[in-house]
Amino acid sequence: MSAGAAEVCYEVAAHVATLTLDAPERMNTISPTMLSEISARLLQADADRDVRVIIITGAGRAFCAGLDLQAQMAGPKGGLGSLSEGSSNPPGEIDMRNTPPMVLHNIDTPTICALNGGAAGYGLDLALGCDIRLAADTAKLNSGFAKRGIVPESGGTWLLPRMVGYAKAAEIAFTGRTLTAAEALELGIVNDVVPAARLADAAKELATEIAANAPLAVRAIKRMMRAAETETFEQNVHHVYLQLLPLLRTADFAEGVAAFMEKRDPEFTGR
């Protein structure tokens, strides 16, 4: 199944949804239209029982070069204010709940970012918000916010220190320095670096491996890992136990045990 949008392409195949930022002529910089499309497609995939993994990638030579500043400045409010177009909230009370960083953080479906090229500013934060990142060997990562006189409003100040530690995150953010794919791998920002020609296949292979597991369990594991970021050990252990109880009553749990005993690959249905 596939569907097209003005600036985001969406396809579902073999339990994997692929979102492709599709404005290669401007290096997939994010316009207000693309912002809403990314959120809508993520929510669509998360609500689809057939989707077990989401891949986010870009068309052309870049993953995402940040916000489309020309489009933002052309908005009726000027500057970054156009990001909040359509909001019914009073000035200064922007509803962030349906913005891509919030949606990406809150959905239960595992996400893989396939960094096909450069990721800068908002594009870098979008990649950081995914659960797993694979990078082409030609990809480069750049926060760039300090060089534009703004802050990482798209989640970077929360995400990056948790990945690389405060001191290294401060160095990256304060300098706005560009990282190569190899440097990002060494820092633990990306999970793996592969030849550019192999990136799409590598992302699909990893997504297929994840999708072969019990989807309800995978979604619960993701929820508990995210919850653990703000819970104590005791709170998280208790929380996980409460997640375990309904899983023990699922057909997938019975299938998983049966497959193990029968020494065969399980066939999970998500029920």
Is the pLDDT confidence value at 153 over 90? no
Cα–Cα distance for residue pair 22/13, rounded to 1 Å:
19
| Predicted pLDDT of residue 74 | 58
Residue 268 lies in a domain: no
Q: Please answer whether residues 185 and 160 qualify as being in contact, where contact means their C-beta atoms are separated by less than 8 angstroms.
A: no
Specify the pTM.
0.89
Is the pLDDT confidence value at 158 over 80? yes
Does one domain contain both 37 and 170?
yes
Q: What is the sign, positive or negative, of the torsion defined by CA atoms of 58, 63, 67, 70?
A: negative
Within 10 angstroms of residue 45's Cβ, the number of other Cβ atoms is 24
pLDDT (tens digit per residue) in 192-223 = 999 999 999 999 999 999 999 999 999 999 99
Does one domain contain both 241 and 123?
no
Number of domains, the chain: 2
pLDDT (tens digit per residue) in 64-120 = 998 876 665 555 444 444 444 444 445 445 567 789 999 999 999 999 999 999 999
| Predicted pLDDT of residue 235 | 97
Does one domain contain both 112 and 234?
no
Domain containing 244: what range? 215-261
Is the pLDDT confidence value at 259 over 80? yes
| Predicted pLDDT of residue 264 | 96
